[in-house]
Chains A and B, each alone.
Chain A
Amino acid sequence: MTSPAKKTKAAAGELRVLHGETLTSALDPLIHERVRLGIVSALAGTDGLSFRELRELLRLTDGNLSVHARRLEEAGYVVCKKGFEGRVPRTEYRLSAAGRRALTAYLDHMEAVIKAARSD
């Protein structure tokens, strides 16, 4: 099993050897994009959010949110449920297990990058 110190050193090595482009490409591009990172983070802090709540929270336009939410849905990171509340249509999103794992992996990666930079 790899120790955290070894992981940090490995990340530092990655930083030095691979430079920016390769390291960036090692990141999950779906989550690395800021709007999608916001959607995933917002959903991670709740049991689920409606389309309007997400739009208000992240200060996005309808179109922008739709496009990014669809990409996350296609990747299986987000589950979308459409229904009605009375006669009003309601679209609700929640983070899937795969989405939660992807966010955790992204957080680990970012923390490793910071540790690597500090150890340099």
Chain B
Amino acid sequence: MTGQTLYDKLWQAHAVREQDDGNALLYIDRHLVHEVTSPQAFEGLRLADRKPWRADSVLAVPDHNVPTENRNAGIADPVSRVQVETLESNVASYGLRFFPMQDLRQGIVHVIGPEQGATLPGMTVVCGDSHTSTHGALGALAFGIGTSEVEHVLATQCLWQGKSRSMLVRVEGDLRPGVTAKDVVLAIIGRIGTAGGNGYAIEFGGSAIRSLSIEGRMTVCNMAIEAGARAGMVAVDEKTIEYVRGRPQSPSGEMFERAAAAWRDLVSDPDARFDRVVEVDAAEIEPQVSWGTSPEMVVGITGQVPDPEQEADPVRADGMRNALTYMGLTAGMAIRDIRPDKVFIGSCTNSRIEDLRAAAAVVRGRRKAENIQLAMVVPGSGLVKQQAEAEGLDRVFLDAGFEWREPGCSMCLAMNADRLEPGERCASTSNRNFEGRQGQGGRTHLVSPALAAAAAVAGHFIDPAELEG
């Protein structure tokens, strides 16, 4: 018998029932809930006169609609306000754990789950949000679901799932200085494409992935969905176990040691077989900048905007032409010559303490460039914000002319007041550069926190390593 992959192990441990057709009823350990994708699910539950199967499996938080400044004034937009109030009334009526907007523990759902120890190795984690893949960094099976499935999990604690194929993305070697987890995952997406992971669960492995912190692994797993895979994951190692230890909802004492012993088995067996293996040389990855309207449209900082006329596939070439028109760029232009109007440091991809430290290290002692109208830093949670302030990072940003905001999803998808105006160009540490994502007509370039910070002080895209010394 061949060995099992990490995905096989997680799948097997959660299969309540397996059917001959390959579908299984999977048990869900943790259900994260936010205000945007849950109201219709709670309504459905109520209409059918059902109750949550296991209320204690739910952690709910408002993050998409919350304002990032002047929070004491509440939510100005009445439609947004109703959505957050609807969540508040739903969690109250079913007795679900909830961090309201004013709670220090409030933040982006994918930041607070691991931060609270609410997501643990070996869990199945779902949320009505595609970036749920983030939690796979802890050795969990975590994936985004739609609202009908949110209702299904609330009512049954389970989901019917077909098993995905397995892919190993192995990144071996040493990353160059200044190359971060974000650059790694953007380079992977550039390589396999946004549909490359469709139908797969991706395990990220290799020495370069193991060398990343847990936060860095979260950044990588977060964007598995941008490679088309619902789930991304990294095997458990001692870093994982130390990360989880002592968190508010983690097990403690003897129970922690018992859990940790089980977690150490959450690795793919040496003889496990994957349906597809992608090898990436870490040393070849340079800081990445997306130039188009899909995360696969990405190049290194020393590169140029590509030419659609050189593309053989007509559908792809068309997509490239559309993207260049939308982005206001011309083929052959050096990435370094692109000048953003705004800089956004935040989102479930890059708003953890390590991200803010990396950005602050570039910004320290410098000023935002003249052409940058707004540079904003939005911490991923109230606790990240508190930690950053304890380290003086808020002063570093404020002294450089940046804005220091309250936690939430903010300008990653612009459901609150933070958004781009038509034609504005943004260096963004978020995850999607789709048309209109950050505001109708807005132009997004996906980058790492260090590169976003470097663009803010230089006024154009530049390798952060060049600013050192």
A, B in one complex: no
A contact residues vs B (CB 8 Å cutoff): none
B contact residues vs A (CB 8 Å cutoff): none
